[in-house]
């Protein structure tokens, strides 16, 4: 907390993940400093989403170390102690899913209040106030009493962002947040994500195909290829002058 | 005269009787026809009873004696369904667990209690357990000896719990894996995830079949009478049997018992229907939000599952006194309410 603005919020060390015989992650090492936005891109099946899901242990990595805001978890059997470490890590790492995954039996505001009240033990009053503040941030305050089924995809995703924000995490993980949206709804979600960086200086690790967002918001981009980070650097370097032929081929195909 | 009116408009082709009848009946609203059908059924039944020289005086005389068994039928069923729900929840979590002890124990439980007859289980608990208790010696004989009603509740609860394990398991599985991940991702513990996210959504799937199980259980509670109970604690069926033995007229008390069971289950179905409607909130796009809530379930609004069940039970107990006519009227009203929906 008291550490300088340059401290490392997320650290991934030599992360491996195999599904059966398939090695999806083959040794990933990366660091995010406070306030940094890193965009991961690459072909589908290259392991980008798996990396994100391994960072908060929704997927069990095969080997490696994850550290979020000082909570350092080595991969291994989930003993009682390790489960608690993982839970502490998750509280500090907000996750936004491709398919939103709002809780359908709760109103928008209840969705946003759920984590602070149930997990952090905040009072309902306090959580309601903070919840409305975060809904305001994502432009959804007027839908506070609405149930998720009555929202559009873009609105759902904005509420999902507010739900993750309400936990006041140290880093936010975005797993293809706009991939399930109709094209005309993508902009509103990207706009909210951008504001998190510019206004809240939120540290973000984003898996996306939105190269415009990467160019505009990211401090660094990383090209994922066959389970490793093939190329990494500022958006200008990587997106305009890719060094490896694979990166160049992918960028040419997307842009 | 209606037929004549139709005849003028339509081409004067000769019409068969059958077609005229079809055209005529097509104009009668469905609910009128339905009422007629029900009336006919009751007329036929009435005729049969008359043929059997039905003794309505005896029915009236013995009604309150038999109806007093309602209390015990409801108490036994309600306690057994609570026990069964708890066992079903634990059973389902066990069957979904990777813990070998939980998985193994619940596997044995569901296999045994689904694989053996309920009546055998009742006698095993009532007569078999005391024998084990005697063999163990010490205080065990006391601990493992139950009166008939307790043994009945235990057997019904264990048996239905085993069946309902599958219902609960399916309900929990029906909540997408993503919901559990979303709960994990905000740092919920297993208990928090189950209590706040998974089970509330699973309930929507669990409640309709659980209602059916409860209805079946209210009827199966009649089996308790085979264990024998003191007069003061007899449920409906046992009382009916007793009247039959005493008067040598079996039809009348059995009909009374059947009507009471029927009324009981119908009233319960009605409340179940209302509960299901209420549970669909958040799943119906057109449903308005908070404003519509109070209109859907008046009366004591308890917690989700148990609250409405208790409401139904209270209503049953309140309605048990007044008499057969009222029970029947309630039955008919509830039936119409159901039939009109489609």
Q: What are phi and psi of B306, to 5 degrees?
A: -60, -35
> Which of B184, B200, B289 lies at the smallest CB-CB distance from A147?
B289
**In angstroms, rounded to a whole number, what is the distance separating the alpha carbons of residues A166 and A140?**
14
Question: Per residue in A174-193, pLDDT tens?
Answer: 999 999 999 999 999 999 99
Cross-chain residue pair A58–B186, CB shorter than 8 Å: no
Judge whether A221 and A233 are in contact, CB under 8 Å: yes
Question: Taking residues A36-63, what's their average pLDDT?
Answer: 93
Cβ contacts below 8 Å, chain A against chain B, sum to 74
**In angstroms, rounded to a whole number, what is the distance separating the alpha carbons of residues B63 and B260?**
10
- The shortest C-alpha distance from B277 to chain A (Å) reads 14
Q: Which of B2-11, B44-53, B261-270 has the lowest mean pLDDT?
A: B2-11
Q: What share of chain B is helix, strand, coil (3-state, %, to 5)?
A: 80, 0, 20
Chain B CB within 8 Å of residue A116 CB: no
- The shortest C-alpha distance from B96 to chain A (Å) reads 18
Give the whole-number percent of chain A exceeding pLDDT 70: 98
Q: Which two tokens stand for residue A167?
A: 């936990």
Question: In 3-state terms, what secondary structure has residue B74?
Answer: helix
Q: Is the dihedral of CA A5, A9, A13, A18 positive or negative?
A: negative
In chain A, how many H helices and how many E strands? Answer: 9, 10
Under DSSP, the state recorded for B34 is H
Q: Which of B95-104, B211-220, B275-284, B318-327 has the lowest mean pLDDT?
A: B318-327
Reported ipTM: 0.92
Cross-chain residue pair A104–B282, CB shorter than 8 Å: yes
Altogether, the residues listed in chain B come to a count of 342
Judge whether A9 and A68 are in contact, CB under 8 Å: yes
For residue B181, which residues of chain A lie inside 8 Å, CB to CB? 58, 97, 101
Residue A72 has pLDDT above 80, yes or no: yes
Residue A65 has pLDDT above 90, yes or no: yes
Average pLDDT, chain B: 80
Chain B CB within 8 Å of residue A60 CB: no
Question: Taking residues B36-41, what's their average pLDDT?
Answer: 96
> Which of A88, A103, A148 lies at the smallest CB-CB distance from B197?
A103
Judge whether A57 and A86 are in contact, CB under 8 Å: yes
Q: Mind giving me the DSSP string for B124-173?
A: IIIIIHHHHHHHH-TTHHHHT---HHHHHHHHHHHHHHHHHHHHHHHHHH
Cross-chain residue pair B283–A104, CB shorter than 8 Å: yes
Chain B CB within 8 Å of residue A101 CB: yes
- The shortest C-alpha distance from A88 to chain B (Å) reads 7
**In angstroms, rounded to a whole number, what is the distance separating the alpha carbons of residues B233 and B69?**
7
Chain B CB within 8 Å of residue A251 CB: no
The residue of A58, A147, A162, A167 whose CB has the most chain B CBs within 10 angstroms, and thus the best one to mutate to test that interface, is A147
Question: Per residue in A127-178, pLDDT tens?
Answer: 999 999 999 999 999 999 999 999 999 999 999 999 999 999 999 999 999 9
Give the whole-number percent of chain A exceeding pLDDT 90: 90
Question: Taking residues B284-298, what's their average pLDDT?
Answer: 45
**Chain B residues within 8 angstroms (CB to CB) of chain A:** 178-179, 181-182, 184-189, 192, 196-197, 200-201, 204, 281-285, 289-290
Residue B155 has pLDDT above 60, yes or no: yes
Comparing alpha-carbon positions, the chain B residue that sits nearest to A118 is B192
CB atoms closer than 10 angstroms to residue A225: 16
């Amino acid at each position: 907390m008291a550490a300088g603005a340059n401290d490392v919020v997320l650290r991934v060390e030599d992360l491996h993940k195999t599904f059966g015989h398939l090695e999806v992650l083959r040794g990933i090492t990366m660091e995010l400093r406070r306030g940094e936005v890193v965009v991961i891109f690459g072909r589908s099946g290259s392991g980008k989403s798996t990396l994100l899901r391994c960072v908060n242990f929704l997927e069990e990595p095969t080997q490696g170390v994850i550290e979020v805001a000082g909570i350092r978890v080595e991969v291994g059997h989930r003993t009682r102690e390790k489960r608690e470490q993982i839970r502490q890590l998750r509280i500090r790492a907000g996750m936004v899913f491709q398919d939103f995954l709002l809780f359908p039996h709760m109103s928008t505001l209840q969705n946003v209040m759920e984590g602070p009240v149930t997990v952090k033990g905040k009072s309902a009053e306090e959580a309601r106030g903070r919840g409305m503040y975060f809904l305001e941030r994502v432009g959804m305050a007027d839908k506070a009493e609405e149930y998720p089924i009555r929202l559009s995809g873009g609105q759902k995703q904005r509420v999902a962002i507010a739900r993750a924000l309400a936990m006041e995490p140290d880093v936010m993980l975005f797993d293809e947040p706009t991939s399930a949206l109709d094209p005309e709804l993508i902009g509103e979600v990207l706009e909210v994500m951008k504001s998190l960086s510019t206004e809240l200086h939120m540290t973000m690790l984003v898996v996306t195909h939105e190269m415009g967002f990467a160019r505009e918001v990211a401090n660094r981009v990383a090209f994922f290829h066959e389970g490793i980070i093939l190329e990494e650097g500022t958006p200008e370097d990587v997106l305009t002058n890719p060094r490896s032929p694979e990166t160049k081929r992918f960028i040419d195909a997307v842009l | 005269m209606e037929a004549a009116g139709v005849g003028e408009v339509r081409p004067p082709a000769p019409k068969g009787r059958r077609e005229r009848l079809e055209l005529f009946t097509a104009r009668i609203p469905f609910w009128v026809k339905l009422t007629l059908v029900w009336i006919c059924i009751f007329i036929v039944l009435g005729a049969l009873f008359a043929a059997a020289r039905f003794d309505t005086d005896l029915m009236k005389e013995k009604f309150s004696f038999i109806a007093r068994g309602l209390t015990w039928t409801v108490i036994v069923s309600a306690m057994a369904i609570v026990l069964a729900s708890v066992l079903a929840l634990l059973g389902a979590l066990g069957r979904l667990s990777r813990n070998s002890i939980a998985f193994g124990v619940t596997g044995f439980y569901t296999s045994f209690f689904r694989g053996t007859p309920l009546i055998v289980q009742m006698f095993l608990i009532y007569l078999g357990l005391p024998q084990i208790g005697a063999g163990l010696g010490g205080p065990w004989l006391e601990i493992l000896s139950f009166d008939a009603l307790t043994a009945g509740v235990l057997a019904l609860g264990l048996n239905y719990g085993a069946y309902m394990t599958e219902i609960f398991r399916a309900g929990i599985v029906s909540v997408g894996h993503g919901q559990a991940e979303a709960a994990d991702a905000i740092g919920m513990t297993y208990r928090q995830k189950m209590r706040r996210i998974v089970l509330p959504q699973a309930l929507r799937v669990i409640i309709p079949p659980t209602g059916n199980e409860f209805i079946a259980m209210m009827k199966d509670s009649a089996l308790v009478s085979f264990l024998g109970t003191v007069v003061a604690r007899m449920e409906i069926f046992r009382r009916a049997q007793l009247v039959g033995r005493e008067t040598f007229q079996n039809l009348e008390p059995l009909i009374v018992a059947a009507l009471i069971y029927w009324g009981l289950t119908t009233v319960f179905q009605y409340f179940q229907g209302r509960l299901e409607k209420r549970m669909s909130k958040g799943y119906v796009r057109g449903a308005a939000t908070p404003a519509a809530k109070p209109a859907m379930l008046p009366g004591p609004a308890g917690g989700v599952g148990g609250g409405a069940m208790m409401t139904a039970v209270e209503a049953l107990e309140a309605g048990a006194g007044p008499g057969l006519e009222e029970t029947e009227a309630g039955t008919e009203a509830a039936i119409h309410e159901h039939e009109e929906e489609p």
